[in-house]
Amino acid sequence: MRALVTGCAGFIGSQVTEALLQRGDEVVGVDCFNDNYGRPQKLRNLRHFYDWDGFEFVPIDLGRGDLEQITDDRDAVIHLAAEPGVRSSWGERYERYVHNNVIATQHLLEALKDRDDVRLVNASSSSVYGDAEQRPTPETAPVQPLSPYGQTKLAAEHLCSLYVANYGLDAVSLRYFTVFGPRQRPDMAFHIFCRAALEKRPITVFGDGRQTRDFSYVGDVVAATLAAADRPLDEARVFNIGGGTPASIREVLEMIEQLAGHPVEVEYLDKERGDVRDTAADTTLAREHLGFEPGTSLEQGLGAEFEWLADAVADGRSKPRTAQ
């Protein structure tokens, strides 16, 4: 397969790119190195596949560039580029979310609209559900984002649906539920918690710690994403991708204490705007259509992330963040 991976230097994008190359596919990767976190970690992610003959890197802002050339000969486009994060999507940064999540997606769709031989896999988010009343939450549940980030991800989903209906584009959206694992962004909770435990610093949690998330290991998410690029599909166009075993933040912190070998000091603060109370994915559709079966437990995946971050801290490749 000849694939285009957007956001190829990111947490999930770099691992999707690596998995494609390892199975013999040809990949064009694009990234604009937006400033949501430091460039050094993204450059380290790129080093995992720079030596592959089947890889080409194109630094481009999807919201500004001409995308015809990079999409012209692709069999699949895996669209992972985005402005991530719920809490930072308020206020002045909202324009970046619109640019990187909505306008960038629309430009990509325009470049693909006359192609009936390419599959677009669009990375969406469980944030589109907001505080879902039904858990596990199926894809048919009402979508009512609680944050500007969730609103822009839902807008990107809707754009994909419009191009499917009006142009016959072959597009699929995957609603990822709280992805974790090695190479995780430094602004994400597990990264912050593990690093604080390694350095014996206090951990700050927004909320009472009893809020739950359906944590999804990145290796399982990569497998689901490749299946969405590969498999013939009928009417189903939106799929939940979740780990299947929701856990509370307090339970996660207990696991981190075990990994660190010492207690961690935790300070609980008021919840932040846009944070939902609980998430849980109904992955029936993904199991039926994509063959999706999470294979990594929360304990196994958290151990893998802790080990990766311990190595990064030991050789100075990770900088501390102070909030969840």
What amino acid positions are annotated as catalytic residues? 149
d(CA 193, CA 195): 6
Which candidate, 122, 147, 153, 100, places its Cα nearest to that of 239?
122
d(CA 80, CA 9): 10
Which candidate, 125, 139, 158, places its Cα nearest to that of 276?
125
Cβ proximity of 81 and 30 under 8 Å: yes
Q: Which helix (H) or strand (E) holds 298?
A: helix 298-314
Which candidate, 305, 291, 125, 281, places its Cα nearest to that of 224?
291
Instruction: Name, in order, each residue with C-beta under 8 angstroms of 243's C-beta and a sequence gap of 6 or more.
Output: 177, 178, 214, 215, 216, 217, 220, 281, 294, 296, 298, 301
Instruction: Name, in order, each residue with C-beta under 8 angstroms of 91's C-beta and a sequence gap of 6 or more.
Output: none
Cβ proximity of 70 and 60 under 8 Å: yes
Q: Could you please report the per-residue DSSP string of 157-206? A: HHHHHHHHHHH--EEEEEEE--EESTT--TTSHHHHHHHHHHTT--EEEE
d(CA 229, CA 224): 9
d(CA 302, CA 280): 18
Whether the upstream peptide bond of residue 59 has omega within 30° of 0, thus cis, is no
Q: What residues are paired with 170 via a beta bridge?
A: 119
Cβ proximity of 252 and 292 under 8 Å: no
